[in-house]
Amino acid sequence: MAIAPLNKFLTKAVPITPSNQQVYEASQGTSAIILYAAVANVGIGQSYPLVSFTHRRTSKATATNGNIRDIRLIKDIEVPPQDAVIIIDGRLVLERDATKIDSVFVRGYQSGVGTVYDAQYDHTTGLTTITTYDSHGFNVDDEIVLDGLVFDCPSTGGITSSIFPNPQTTFKVETVGTSTIFTTNTGLVANLPHTFRPSEHRFIRANPDPITIVSGTIPAAGTKIQVIKGTTYDSVTGILSVTASTPHNLTTGDTIKFTNDSLVFKCSQDNYSDEKKYPRSTDPANNSNTLGVTTFIGIGNTFTVNVGVQTGGGTVSPVQMELIMSILETSKV
Protein backbone atom coordinates (compact mmCIF):
# COMPACT_ATOMS: atom_id res chain seq x y z
CA MET A 1 0.00 0.00 0.00
CA ALA A 2 1.37 3.41 -0.96
CA ILE A 3 1.92 5.97 1.77
CA ALA A 4 1.04 9.57 1.00
CA PRO A 5 3.82 12.13 1.52
CA LEU A 6 3.62 14.11 4.73
CA ASN A 7 3.55 17.90 4.51
CA LYS A 8 4.79 20.25 7.20
CA PHE A 9 4.65 24.04 7.22
CA LEU A 10 7.41 25.97 9.00
CA THR A 11 7.81 29.64 9.79
CA LYS A 12 11.23 31.00 10.63
CA ALA A 13 11.91 34.45 12.05
CA VAL A 14 15.52 35.30 12.81
CA PRO A 15 17.54 38.49 13.28
CA ILE A 16 20.08 39.22 10.57
CA THR A 17 23.74 39.49 11.51
CA PRO A 18 26.83 40.92 9.79
CA SER A 19 28.17 37.41 9.10
CA ASN A 20 26.98 35.00 6.42
CA GLN A 21 24.37 33.13 8.46
CA GLN A 22 22.81 29.80 7.48
CA VAL A 23 19.10 30.13 8.23
CA TYR A 24 17.76 26.90 6.76
CA GLU A 25 19.01 23.57 5.42
CA ALA A 26 16.87 20.96 3.69
CA SER A 27 16.23 17.99 5.97
CA GLN A 28 17.17 14.43 5.10
CA GLY A 29 14.40 12.61 3.27
CA THR A 30 12.46 15.75 2.38
CA SER A 31 12.15 18.32 -0.33
CA ALA A 32 11.48 21.86 0.81
CA ILE A 33 9.81 24.81 -0.87
CA ILE A 34 10.37 28.32 0.45
CA LEU A 35 7.03 29.94 -0.31
CA TYR A 36 7.81 33.38 1.06
CA ALA A 37 10.83 35.24 2.39
CA ALA A 38 11.09 38.89 3.37
CA VAL A 39 13.48 41.10 5.31
CA ALA A 40 12.04 43.87 7.49
CA ASN A 41 13.85 46.90 8.83
CA VAL A 42 12.94 46.79 12.52
CA GLY A 43 15.56 49.26 13.72
CA ILE A 44 14.83 52.51 15.47
CA GLY A 45 15.62 55.66 13.53
CA GLN A 46 16.52 56.33 9.92
CA SER A 47 18.89 53.46 9.22
CA TYR A 48 19.30 52.03 5.71
CA PRO A 49 20.89 48.58 6.17
CA LEU A 50 21.70 46.25 3.28
CA VAL A 51 20.93 42.55 2.91
CA SER A 52 22.11 39.69 0.69
CA PHE A 53 20.33 36.33 0.30
CA THR A 54 22.03 33.23 -1.14
CA HIS A 55 20.92 29.75 -2.22
CA ARG A 56 23.83 27.35 -1.60
CA ARG A 57 24.21 23.84 -3.03
CA THR A 58 26.87 21.67 -1.38
CA SER A 59 27.96 18.58 -3.29
CA LYS A 60 28.09 15.22 -1.48
CA ALA A 61 29.03 13.21 -4.58
CA THR A 62 32.26 11.24 -4.24
CA ALA A 63 34.22 13.07 -6.92
CA THR A 64 33.11 16.58 -5.91
CA ASN A 65 32.41 16.19 -2.18
CA GLY A 66 32.44 19.56 -0.42
CA ASN A 67 32.24 21.70 -3.55
CA ILE A 68 29.94 24.69 -3.10
CA ARG A 69 27.85 26.58 -5.62
CA ASP A 70 26.32 29.83 -4.43
CA ILE A 71 23.42 31.48 -6.27
CA ARG A 72 22.94 34.97 -4.86
CA LEU A 73 19.25 35.82 -5.18
CA ILE A 74 19.73 39.40 -4.01
CA LYS A 75 22.90 41.33 -3.20
CA ASP A 76 23.21 44.41 -1.03
CA ILE A 77 19.56 45.43 -1.32
CA GLU A 78 18.73 48.49 0.78
CA VAL A 79 15.90 48.10 3.29
CA PRO A 80 14.35 51.53 4.06
CA PRO A 81 13.21 52.46 7.59
CA GLN A 82 9.91 50.87 8.69
CA ASP A 83 9.81 48.95 5.41
CA ALA A 84 10.56 45.48 4.06
CA VAL A 85 12.05 43.78 1.02
CA ILE A 86 10.28 40.71 -0.38
CA ILE A 87 12.90 38.20 -1.56
CA ILE A 88 10.68 35.24 -2.51
CA ASP A 89 6.97 35.28 -3.25
CA GLY A 90 6.27 32.06 -5.09
CA ARG A 91 8.69 29.24 -4.49
CA LEU A 92 12.32 28.29 -4.14
CA VAL A 93 12.82 24.51 -4.18
CA LEU A 94 15.53 23.04 -1.93
CA GLU A 95 16.67 19.42 -2.13
CA ARG A 96 18.73 16.99 -0.11
CA ASP A 97 19.83 13.55 -1.23
CA ALA A 98 22.96 11.41 -1.51
CA THR A 99 24.61 13.83 -3.95
CA LYS A 100 23.69 17.31 -2.69
CA ILE A 101 22.47 19.46 0.18
CA ASP A 102 20.64 22.75 -0.40
CA SER A 103 20.58 25.57 2.13
CA VAL A 104 19.96 29.31 2.29
CA PHE A 105 22.15 32.02 3.79
CA VAL A 106 21.47 35.64 4.66
CA ARG A 107 23.91 38.43 5.46
CA GLY A 108 23.37 41.98 6.62
CA TYR A 109 25.37 45.17 6.41
CA GLN A 110 24.43 47.79 8.99
CA SER A 111 25.65 50.55 11.25
CA GLY A 112 26.54 50.16 14.91
CA VAL A 113 28.45 46.87 14.62
CA GLY A 114 31.06 46.55 17.38
CA THR A 115 33.85 44.04 17.96
CA VAL A 116 33.80 42.01 21.17
CA TYR A 117 37.02 42.19 23.20
CA ASP A 118 35.94 39.76 25.92
CA ALA A 119 32.89 37.72 26.93
CA GLN A 120 32.54 36.19 30.39
CA TYR A 121 29.69 33.70 30.77
CA ASP A 122 28.32 32.78 34.21
CA HIS A 123 26.80 29.32 33.88
CA THR A 124 25.09 29.67 37.28
CA THR A 125 23.04 32.74 36.29
CA GLY A 126 23.00 32.68 32.48
CA LEU A 127 24.42 36.20 32.37
CA THR A 128 27.18 37.08 29.93
CA THR A 129 29.32 40.16 30.50
CA ILE A 130 30.44 41.64 27.19
CA THR A 131 33.39 44.00 26.81
CA THR A 132 33.73 45.85 23.51
CA TYR A 133 36.72 47.60 21.98
CA ASP A 134 34.80 50.82 21.40
CA SER A 135 31.79 52.46 23.04
CA HIS A 136 28.75 50.23 22.51
CA GLY A 137 26.08 52.93 22.94
CA PHE A 138 23.53 50.54 24.46
CA ASN A 139 20.94 51.20 27.15
CA VAL A 140 19.11 48.76 29.42
CA ASP A 141 16.42 46.78 27.52
CA ASP A 142 17.96 47.48 24.10
CA GLU A 143 17.68 44.48 21.78
CA ILE A 144 21.01 43.26 20.43
CA VAL A 145 22.48 40.51 18.29
CA LEU A 146 25.67 38.65 19.20
CA ASP A 147 27.52 36.84 16.45
CA GLY A 148 30.64 34.74 15.95
CA LEU A 149 31.67 34.30 19.60
CA VAL A 150 33.71 31.17 20.31
CA PHE A 151 33.68 29.36 23.65
CA ASP A 152 35.42 26.28 24.98
CA CYS A 153 33.13 24.11 27.06
CA PRO A 154 33.30 20.60 28.53
CA SER A 155 31.12 17.86 27.10
CA THR A 156 30.98 14.08 27.12
CA GLY A 157 33.67 14.13 24.42
CA GLY A 158 36.04 16.42 26.34
CA ILE A 159 36.71 20.13 25.79
CA THR A 160 35.10 21.38 22.59
CA SER A 161 34.87 24.78 20.88
CA SER A 162 31.52 26.10 19.68
CA ILE A 163 30.43 29.25 17.89
CA PHE A 164 27.74 31.13 19.79
CA PRO A 165 24.87 31.72 19.42
CA ASN A 166 23.47 28.91 17.33
CA PRO A 167 20.72 29.23 16.21
CA GLN A 168 20.71 33.01 15.91
CA THR A 169 18.49 34.94 18.30
CA THR A 170 18.10 38.35 19.92
CA PHE A 171 19.04 39.31 23.46
CA LYS A 172 18.22 42.22 25.75
CA VAL A 173 20.74 44.37 27.58
CA GLU A 174 20.30 43.69 31.30
CA THR A 175 22.77 46.15 32.80
CA VAL A 176 25.23 48.72 31.52
CA GLY A 177 28.47 48.97 33.47
CA THR A 178 30.57 51.37 31.42
CA SER A 179 30.65 52.64 27.85
CA THR A 180 32.39 49.39 26.85
CA ILE A 181 30.82 46.87 29.27
CA PHE A 182 27.28 45.51 29.53
CA THR A 183 25.53 42.28 30.55
CA THR A 184 22.89 40.23 28.78
CA ASN A 185 21.03 37.05 29.66
CA THR A 186 22.06 34.43 27.11
CA GLY A 187 20.41 31.48 28.85
CA LEU A 188 21.33 29.01 31.56
CA VAL A 189 23.53 26.00 30.82
CA ALA A 190 23.89 24.36 34.22
CA ASN A 191 27.19 22.74 35.20
CA LEU A 192 28.89 23.72 31.92
CA PRO A 193 31.33 26.60 32.39
CA HIS A 194 32.30 28.33 29.14
CA THR A 195 35.64 29.98 28.40
CA PHE A 196 35.77 32.70 25.75
CA ARG A 197 38.31 32.24 22.96
CA PRO A 198 39.53 34.94 20.58
CA SER A 199 38.65 34.44 16.92
CA GLU A 200 39.54 30.98 15.66
CA HIS A 201 41.28 30.78 12.28
CA ARG A 202 41.26 28.08 9.59
CA PHE A 203 44.09 27.97 7.07
CA ILE A 204 42.90 28.08 3.45
CA ARG A 205 46.00 28.50 1.27
CA ALA A 206 49.25 30.41 0.86
CA ASN A 207 50.85 32.47 -1.87
CA PRO A 208 54.01 31.02 -3.48
CA ASP A 209 57.00 31.04 -1.09
CA PRO A 210 55.49 33.15 1.71
CA ILE A 211 58.39 32.50 4.13
CA THR A 212 62.02 33.50 3.72
CA ILE A 213 64.81 32.16 5.95
CA VAL A 214 66.80 35.03 7.46
CA SER A 215 69.36 32.96 9.36
CA GLY A 216 69.69 29.21 9.69
CA THR A 217 72.02 26.58 11.09
CA ILE A 218 71.64 24.41 7.99
CA PRO A 219 69.47 26.19 5.39
CA ALA A 220 71.03 29.21 3.71
CA ALA A 221 69.70 32.71 4.25
CA GLY A 222 67.26 33.63 1.50
CA THR A 223 65.87 30.10 1.14
CA LYS A 224 62.11 30.11 0.50
CA ILE A 225 59.51 27.90 2.21
CA GLN A 226 56.15 26.99 0.73
CA VAL A 227 53.27 26.63 3.21
CA ILE A 228 50.64 23.93 2.59
CA LYS A 229 47.53 22.33 4.09
CA GLY A 230 47.98 21.24 7.69
CA THR A 231 49.08 24.68 8.87
CA THR A 232 47.22 25.81 12.01
CA TYR A 233 47.04 28.90 14.22
CA ASP A 234 46.18 29.02 17.93
CA SER A 235 44.72 32.44 18.70
CA VAL A 236 45.19 32.03 22.47
CA THR A 237 48.92 31.20 22.42
CA GLY A 238 49.83 32.97 19.18
CA ILE A 239 51.57 29.85 17.89
CA LEU A 240 51.48 29.21 14.14
CA SER A 241 52.26 25.60 13.29
CA VAL A 242 53.60 25.65 9.74
CA THR A 243 53.46 22.64 7.44
CA ALA A 244 56.00 23.05 4.64
CA SER A 245 55.84 21.39 1.23
CA THR A 246 59.36 19.95 1.68
CA PRO A 247 61.72 19.36 4.63
CA HIS A 248 62.77 22.80 5.88
CA ASN A 249 65.91 21.80 7.88
CA LEU A 250 65.22 24.53 10.44
CA THR A 251 66.18 24.20 14.08
CA THR A 252 65.09 26.08 17.19
CA GLY A 253 66.49 29.60 17.14
CA ASP A 254 66.70 29.96 13.36
CA THR A 255 64.92 33.05 12.10
CA ILE A 256 62.41 33.65 9.31
CA LYS A 257 60.30 36.39 7.73
CA PHE A 258 56.78 36.33 6.29
CA THR A 259 55.66 38.15 3.18
CA ASN A 260 52.77 40.44 4.07
CA ASP A 261 49.29 39.23 3.01
CA SER A 262 50.68 35.85 1.91
CA LEU A 263 48.68 33.46 4.15
CA VAL A 264 44.93 33.16 3.62
CA PHE A 265 42.63 32.21 6.52
CA LYS A 266 38.94 32.27 7.36
CA CYS A 267 37.89 33.09 10.92
CA SER A 268 34.99 32.67 13.32
CA GLN A 269 34.50 36.45 13.55
CA ASP A 270 32.19 36.28 10.51
CA ASN A 271 31.34 32.56 10.76
CA TYR A 272 34.14 31.65 8.34
CA SER A 273 32.56 33.59 5.48
CA ASP A 274 35.28 35.81 4.03
CA GLU A 275 38.92 35.12 3.26
CA LYS A 276 41.44 37.24 5.17
CA LYS A 277 45.13 37.67 4.37
CA TYR A 278 47.94 37.65 6.95
CA PRO A 279 50.25 38.95 8.17
CA ARG A 280 48.94 42.47 7.83
CA SER A 281 51.31 45.41 7.95
CA THR A 282 50.16 46.09 11.53
CA ASP A 283 50.66 42.50 12.78
CA PRO A 284 53.69 41.44 14.88
CA ALA A 285 54.65 39.00 12.10
CA ASN A 286 54.72 41.63 9.36
CA ASN A 287 57.59 41.63 6.87
CA SER A 288 59.64 44.19 8.79
CA ASN A 289 60.02 41.82 11.76
CA THR A 290 62.22 38.73 12.05
CA LEU A 291 60.73 35.82 14.01
CA GLY A 292 62.53 32.98 15.75
CA VAL A 293 61.54 29.36 15.15
CA THR A 294 60.36 27.89 18.46
CA THR A 295 60.33 24.14 17.68
CA PHE A 296 60.52 21.77 14.77
CA ILE A 297 58.26 18.74 14.73
CA GLY A 298 58.15 15.30 13.17
CA ILE A 299 60.20 14.49 10.11
CA GLY A 300 61.12 18.06 9.31
CA ASN A 301 58.13 19.39 7.38
CA THR A 302 56.54 21.12 10.36
CA PHE A 303 57.80 23.87 12.65
CA THR A 304 56.23 26.43 14.97
CA VAL A 305 56.68 30.16 15.34
CA ASN A 306 54.99 32.72 17.60
CA VAL A 307 53.24 35.26 15.38
CA GLY A 308 51.32 36.98 18.19
CA VAL A 309 48.05 36.32 19.99
CA GLN A 310 44.61 37.34 18.78
CA THR A 311 42.57 39.54 21.12
CA GLY A 312 38.82 39.64 20.87
CA GLY A 313 36.46 38.06 18.42
CA GLY A 314 32.81 38.14 17.47
CA THR A 315 30.50 41.09 17.01
CA VAL A 316 27.62 42.81 18.77
CA SER A 317 25.10 45.08 17.11
CA PRO A 318 21.64 46.56 17.61
CA VAL A 319 18.80 44.64 15.99
CA GLN A 320 18.12 46.33 12.66
CA MET A 321 16.75 43.61 10.35
CA GLU A 322 14.67 40.47 10.69
CA LEU A 323 14.14 37.67 8.17
CA ILE A 324 10.76 35.92 7.96
CA MET A 325 10.37 32.74 5.89
CA SER A 326 7.47 30.36 5.23
CA ILE A 327 8.59 26.85 4.28
CA LEU A 328 6.72 23.76 3.10
CA GLU A 329 8.53 20.47 3.78
CA THR A 330 7.34 17.35 1.97
CA SER A 331 8.59 13.89 2.88
CA LYS A 332 9.86 11.68 0.05
CA VAL A 333 8.30 8.52 1.55
pLDDT value, residue 1: 43
Tell me how far apart the alpha carbons of residues 199 and 238 are, in angstroms, rounded to a whole number.
Answer: 12
pLDDT value, residue 157: 56
pLDDT value, residue 332: 64
Q: Could you write out the DSSP letters of every residue in 168-179? A: ---EEEEEEEET
Tell me how far apart the alpha carbons of residues 221 and 163 are, in angstroms, rounded to a whole number.
Answer: 42
Q: What angle do CA 188, 194, 196 make, to 5 degrees?
A: 125
Q: Strand 276-278 to strand 211-215: parallel, antiparallel, or no bridges (unpaired)?
A: unpaired
- Topology of domain 114-199+314-318, CATH: Elongation Factor Tu (Ef-tu); domain 3 (2.40.30)
Kind and range of the H or E run holding 62: none
Give the global pTM.
0.83
Q: Extract the residue ranges of the chain whose pLDDT is less than 70.
A: 1-5, 155-160, 167, 298-299, 332-333
Q: 19-43: per-residue pLDDT in tens?
A: 888 999 988 877 889 999 999 999 8
Q: Which of 117, 114, 91 is nearest to 104 (CA)?
A: 91
Q: 116-140: per-residue pLDDT in tens?
A: 999 999 989 999 999 999 999 999 9
Q: 244-258: per-residue pLDDT in tens?
A: 999 998 988 899 999
7-110+320-331 under CATH 2.60.40, yes or no: no
Distance of CA 115 to the CA centre of its chain: 13
